[in-house]
A and B are shown apart, each in its own frame.
Chain A
Amino acid sequence: MSRFVRSLEEALRKDRHASGQEILSYLDGELSPRQMDWVRRHLVNCWSCRAAAEKVGQTVAGFVEFRLRSLEAVNVEWPPLEPRLRQAPEVRPPKWRSLLLSVGAAGCLALAIVVLPTGSSPVSASTILESARRVERAGTATGSVSYRKLTVLRVDGAHAAQKATFEVWADGRTTKVRHSGAQPLFDEMQAVLAANQRREPPLSAGAFEEWRKNLRQKTESVATSRVAGDDVFLVTTKAEGPLATHRIREDRIAIRRADWRPVAERMAVEGEGRVFEFEAVEQRLVDRAAAFGVEGAPPPPASKTAPVPRALHTGETSPAKPESGLLAEISAHYAVHKTGACLDGAVEVVSRHGEVTVRGVVGTAQEKSELEAELFHLEGVKADLETAGSLASADAGLLPAPGSTGEAVTVQPRPSVWRDSLRDFFTANPEFGPARESEAKFANQAILHTRDLRRHAWALRRLAERFHGEAGPARSGPAQWLLESMLRDHAAALSAEADSLRRLLDPFLAFLEPGNGPAEPPEPSPSSWAEAVSRAFSSQREIETLVHELLGDGTESGPGAAPAQRLRNRLDALRQCARQIAGLSSQEVVP
């Protein structure tokens, strides 16, 4: 019985009518051979479907005739195309034959990189990219910083090329990017990277590999070529199928054979109605891991060994040698900086007779082990650390962070001439919550921001006192960049904390002294980074005094002193100093 039912069902399934979609696809020849055969045989047997197919044919014919008549009726005076073609912008050299001609703002920067495939490669794309990734990972595994400077061109046939410069610092945990040049290019580059789930700027073998692996359909080729006199592998991956705007259609990356570093990359990106291209070229690379001779980088494929990348294209001096005492000292400072131990002032870096020691007290055993791990990889640096969780002496008199211990906030502002004003403010603004509780929370937050300002200002000052006055040439490239990195981190933190404090205090300051008073005249630009740090430190000290005064925790200067406006002015001055420090270029950091 069941066999009969199955055979009946099979017969019914086979005898079903063809759908309209199947008939149309059959007529268009767009079915698989098996489906084509089934529909053809079915139409032979089924009058109903054959009639439907004829009707489809008639409809198609009717539409085509109608369309042709419509087009014939078009009465357009077509403008000639030739005049427009003659006005087209200058032609660029053919793709990848002589590419990457840069048009710098001053018109003086010219990248003449010739990437012409000269032969096929026996090595697969996966092998090449994996080797390049290993080099990238080795460069950041120790937490050291690599620095790269890239030039990126946006090439669009209909428009003049745009150029931007990217500087990338990477230490394995974070990547910092600074750019200059065309802002739209930077924004578009960000959109392209986001659309392709790329977390790294161009010229990253890891990012290329991730993008490539996520493609459903792709075609690939590997060739050998030369870029700027170096032998390279040229890996080209092309995405097949429809792609949305900002997706990368084709990416070609040139990886130098000597050290497995990507040195040029060209992405063809889907745009609105056409494909445009980004060309990225490495201008400069300083890899601190290589400078220290850290092992882990795979050997180059060629017989000649090149442990240090020959990537300093600009002909600058080589990175400092490992035995450089100053570099070791700054590296030790950077390790302290990375773990945050620089903020508490209980850890110091001492350099004597060419030997660097990091000594002091850190809060917990975990912090100690983290810092020791950072210092472990630094040659010529010793660690002498102790733990003392209770030694938060610098913060002993401060209020705990609200909610940080899970306990109710019980801090009461001490009596001051402003206390009544503070209470009046919260009474007049019930949206902040019960006056008493809000008052304490407000005071806590303000003092915490002030404390963080102080920690960063002190950290900056310690760096300035130690390294100001060092002769520029003595500071090697990596040392200089590490120092820059620390300065910028603290400056950014100062700026952010000052912003937060200003936002917190503004309503209360406006309540105290409605309307903005006279702003201070802008100070002249500092002559050195150390001077900017000194100014930032002074501003921070004054801010701290004023905040404590306002909240009843310090010496009162009396209502006539208009502390609200002074506080605003000092916060603005601090933010300006922080911006100046953060905006310093490498040259300016060298005194």
Chain B
Amino acid sequence: MSANELDWSSGPASVSQPLLERPLDEAVAELYARLRLPVYGYVFATTGCRHEAEDVTQEVFFRLYLELRRGGRIGNLRSWIFSVAHNLAMSAHSREARQRSAEALQFSGRLGADPEDLLLSAERDRKMAFALKRLSARERQCIELRAEGLRYREIAAVLQVSVPAVQSFLARAIEKLKEDA
């Protein structure tokens, strides 16, 4: 089951009923198994670091567990997860950026192991990968979140920008991808 097959629309209650009937830790672990990949993809696109993406992904679900356990109400599970992922990714990204400035060579060395680079053999994918690198951070975040099925207002809430700004970021991102890919 992929993330897009899951009904996210109204929070935990929309997750399949059997999942809700389980103990909370099992339910969250199940969600983690289902959703970690899209969260990982988003964080990786933001930070550019595989290790950070792994750590942040697990942290997101750990916090989801804490929030649900303490009785917190999550209005929109999808927005909540990506909001937490985004904020953690931004913190990790700034840490990573500091390290990058000090260890530029080490960072470029790690690039060879990322999944985008593994697909460089295909010409189309190679073009897409390079086109994606031309996007600004916001543009990339917007299309990643849109690809995960978030509506514009949800993206705006995650990135803490306005809906027209999201429209503009997305349009520019698609325009750039059209030119290069």
Contact = CB atoms under 8 A, between A and B. Distances in A.
Contacts of A93: 71
Contact of B116 (A30, A70, A97): A70
A243 interface: yes
Contact of A30 (B72, B119, B151, B160): B151
A376 interface: no
Interface string B129-149: 100100000000001101100
A71 B71 contact: no
Interface size class of B (residues with CB under 8 A): 35 or more
A523 B61 CA distance: 58
Contact of A94 (B50, B70, B159, B181): B70
Interface in B106-139: 115-116, 118-119, 124-125, 128-129, 132
A63 B156 contact: no
Interface string B150-181: 01100011011101000110110011011001
A93 B71 CA distance: 8
Interface secondary structure of B, over-half rule: helix
A71 B41 contact: yes
A416 interface: no
B83 to A, nearest CB: 8
A34 interface: no
Contacts of A85: 25, 28-29, 62, 65
A95 B58 contact: no
Contacts of B36: 78
A17 to B, nearest CB: 14
A82 interface: yes
Interface string A359-393: 00000000000000000000000000000000000
B69 A91 contact: yes
Contacts of B124: 62, 66
A24 interface: yes
A28 interface: yes
Contact of A20 (B29, B83, B171, B181): B171
Contacts of B118: 73
Interface in A150-194: 157-158
A79 B151 contact: no
B11 interface: no
A20 B175 contact: yes
Interface string A208-247: 0000000000000000000000000000000001111000
Interface string B2-41: 0000000000000000000000011011001000111011
25 contacts: A25-B171, A30-B151, A59-B181, A62-B181, A63-B132, A63-B181, A64-B147, A69-B125, A70-B115, A70-B119, A71-B40, A71-B115, A81-B28, A81-B62, A84-B62, A88-B66, A91-B70, A92-B70, A95-B71, A158-B62, A242-B156, A242-B161, A272-B91, A273-B63, A274-B87
